[in-house]
Amino acid sequence: MIILIKVHDVFLYNNQKYEVIEVYETGYCEIKRLSSVGPIELIHKKDLKNVEKLIMG
């Protein structure tokens, strides 16, 4: 199943809530964990194939 990822989508990833900050044409996304002021992470959309989208943007 392909999940469309857009900016401001919120989803569960590694049992944590994350928000999509930016989506690039290369397939990479910048994501930020909502429960901390930690760093922004760069991941590829293929790594999001088993996530649960919480809020559709």
Predicted TM-score (pTM) of the model is 0.78
Is the pLDDT at 56 greater than 60? The verdict is no
CA pair distance 13, 45, nearest whole angstrom: 12
Q: Which residues contact 43 (CB under 8 A, 6 or more apart)?
A: 28, 29, 31
More confident residue, 55 or 46: 46
pLDDT digits (tens, 9 = 90+) for 5-32: 889 989 888 888 899 999 999 999 999 9
